[in-house]
């Protein structure tokens, strides 16, 4: 390769050599350290800051919270950390009602998603092998399109003058438009719709591997189909059921967009309460405390889910 650099042709090449040697020598450390540090800076540290701010006082200032320590000439003269924000959460009915209703909505909609998703996953798993890829694609496709748009689509359907009421009035099934939008029913519909793929995919992955000859054996021995389903299919698909339920329940607890757009002002969910506290009331310390308590509610299910996943991966890997 002709070198146009002139009298020191080896210098850039040598430098590149040093760089390469450095990467070769420390490549392993670098591959770990770069993403590790990134997550510490952009994931772990932010949580510590939230925890810190949840202990401080709200102030009318920029930023709207007070310092934890009083520092005069570099010496700490007083600690201002307090649990007022946490006691406020317990004292004000709005907050614990939000937590309870979030847990209730998330649990019930997880159950509904399971009831809607199981027959779909089951039928997909029983479909001929060459059709399964297409069916799988059809479940994933809506999941790739925007979540916000899919929630928005339901406003047009559920409104008082929406498509559903048009249809039902036109067919003469009802004579008064149903009031669904801005009620809890709309929130349930929205969550079941948006999270359905999270339920169907793990269930399908599980049912697809099932040995169907077990059902035939049960039938040969005189077991009724429904009983065989309860005694064989359901227990064998338990890992899929558990994974699907976690994948729906955990994000549903903190959901903000669905209760806000479909539930209207009357629905209480903790994600929405946090948002309002932060943006409308500008009470950052209280919003931080809401987030920390929400996280504490979720730590149990998240750890349990991770352990189940790890055990599952071990068994399969």
Partner 1 sequence: MRKGLTAFNYISLILGFSFLYIPIILLIIFSFNESRLVTVWAGFSTKWYGALARNQSILDAAVVTLKVALMSSTLAVVLGTMAGFSLSRFRRFKGRTLFSAMIFAPLVMPDVIIGLSLLLMFVAMGIDRGIVTITLAHATFSMCYVAVIIQSRLSSFDRSIEEAAMDLGCPPLKTFFLITLPVIMPAVVSGWLLSFTLSLDDLVIASFTTGPGATTLPMRIYSQVRLGVTPQINAVSTILIGIVAVGVLIASILNRRQEMQRMRNERMAADNA
Q: Does 295 bind partner 1 (CB under 8 A)?
A: yes
Among 57, 251, 282, 312, binds partner 1 (CB under 8 A): 251
Q: Does 28 bind partner 1 (CB under 8 A)?
A: yes
| CB of 119 vs partner 1, minimal distance in Å | 4
Taking CB under 8 A as the binding criterion, the range among 73-81, 84-92, 120-128, 170-178 that sits at the site for partner 1 is 120-128
Among 68, 111, 116, 168, binds partner 1 (CB under 8 A): 116
Q: Does 226 bind partner 1 (CB under 8 A)?
A: no
Three-class SS state of 77: strand
| CB of 195 vs partner 1, minimal distance in Å | 12
Taking CB under 8 A as the binding criterion, the range among 7-15, 82-90, 171-179, 251-259 that sits at the site for partner 1 is 251-259
- 183-222 residues in contact with partner 1 (CB under 8 A) are 193, 196, 200, 212-213, 216
Q: Does 274 bind partner 1 (CB under 8 A)?
A: yes
Rounded to whole angstroms, how far apart are CA atoms 181 and 187? 8
Q: Compare residues 43 and 235 and give the one whose CB is closer to partner 1.
A: 43
Q: Does 44 bind partner 1 (CB under 8 A)?
A: yes
b (16+ CB within 10 A) / e for 278-289: beeeebbbbbbb
Q: Which residues face 72 on adjacent strands?
A: 75
| CB of 25 vs partner 1, minimal distance in Å | 10
Rounded to whole angstroms, how far apart are CA atoms 197 and 203? 10
Nearest to 181 by CA among 166, 209, 161, 197: 161
Nearest to 96 by CA among 250, 282, 261, 294: 294
First to last CA, the chain: 48
Residue 263's CB: how many other CB atoms inside 10 A? 23
Q: Are 232 and 214 in contact (CB under 8 A)?
A: yes
Among 9, 35, 78, 91, binds partner 1 (CB under 8 A): 35
């Amino acid at each position: 390769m002709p070198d146009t650099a002139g009298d020191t042709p080896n210098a850039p090449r040598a430098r590149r050599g040093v760089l390469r040697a450095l990467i070769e020598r420390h490549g392993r450390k670098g591959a770990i350290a770069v993403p590790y540090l990134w997550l510490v800076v952009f994931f772990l540290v932010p949580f510590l800051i939230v925890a810190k701010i949840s202990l401080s006082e709200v102030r009318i200032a920029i930023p709207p919270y007070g310092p934890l320590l009083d520092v005069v000439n570099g010496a700490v003269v007083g600690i201002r950390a307090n649990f007022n924000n946490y006691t406020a959460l317990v004292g004000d009915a709005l907050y614990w009602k939000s937590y309870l209703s979030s847990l209730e909505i998330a649990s019930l909609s997880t159950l509904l998603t399971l009831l809607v998703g199981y027959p779909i996953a089951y039928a997909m798993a029983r479909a001929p092998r060459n059709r399964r890829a297409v069916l799988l694609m059809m479940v994933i496709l809506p999941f790739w399109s925007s979540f916000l748009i899919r929630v928005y689509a339901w406003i047009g359907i559920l409104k008082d003058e929406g498509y559903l009421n048009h249809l039902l009035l036109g067919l003469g099934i009802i004579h008064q438009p149903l009031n669904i939008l801005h009620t809890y029913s709309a929130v349930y519909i929205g969550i079941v719709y948006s999270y359905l793929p999270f339920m169907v995919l793990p269930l399908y992955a599980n049912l697809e591997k099932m040995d169907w000859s077990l059902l035939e054996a049960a039938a040969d021995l005189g077991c009724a189909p429904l009983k065989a389903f309860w005694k064989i299919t359901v227990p064998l698909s338990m890992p899929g059921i558990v994974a699907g339920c976690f994948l729906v329940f955990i994000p549903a607890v903190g959901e903000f967009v669905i209760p806000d757009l479909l539930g209207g002002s009357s629905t209480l969910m903790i994600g929405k309460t946090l948002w309002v506290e932060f943006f409308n009331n500008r009470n950052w310390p209280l919003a931080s405390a809401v987030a920390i308590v929400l996280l504490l509610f979720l730590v149990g299910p998240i750890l349990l889910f991770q352990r189940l996943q790890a055990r599952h991966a071990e068994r399969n890997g």
